[in-house]
Amino acid sequence: MTPELRAEPRLRVGIALFNAGAFFAAHEAWEELWLELVGEEKQLVQGLIQIAAGYYKLEQGNRSATRKLFEKALARIAAAGECGNDAGVQALVSVVGEQLRLLASAAPLTAPQLTIG
């Protein structure tokens, strides 16, 4: 992740909202930023948006939509290349990947905290 993106206030606001469980609001904060980005940074932020949207759908009881959003998000973050290699992003990817496997069951899922360098 570039230092400029890491310091971006809208990224930080989205992280705070995500960590507070305000997934729809986090999605909105990141979407505003996403509209201005290009390349790998755009891929990374879109992946974060899809993860937030997935947890929002999970709150609504729509595990199928959550699964689809998580799958898309993991692919987007993988496509972000070096930009997605932040330790906090990779920790989130790991948890989301694990939870993606659990979505087929009735196991309860909780969102992890997101930290960025």
Tokens of 18: 């995500």
Per-residue pLDDT in tens (0 to 9) along the chain, 117 residues: 788 888 899 999 999 999 999 999 999 999 989 999 999 999 999 999 999 999 999 999 999 999 999 999 999 999 988 888 888 888 999 999 999 989 888 888 888 888 886
Buried-state track 104-117, b at ≥16 Cβ within 10 A, e below 16:
eeeeebebbebebe
Task: Compute the half-sphere exposure of residue 21: CA atoms within 13 Å on the CB side of its CA.
Answer: 4
- Global pTM reads 0.93
Q: Which residues contact 32 (CB under 8 A, 6 or more apart)?
A: 10
Determine the Cα–Cα distance for residues 11 and 82; give it in Å rounded to an integer.
17
Q: Which domains occur in the chain, in start order?
A: 3-102 (1.10.3450.10)
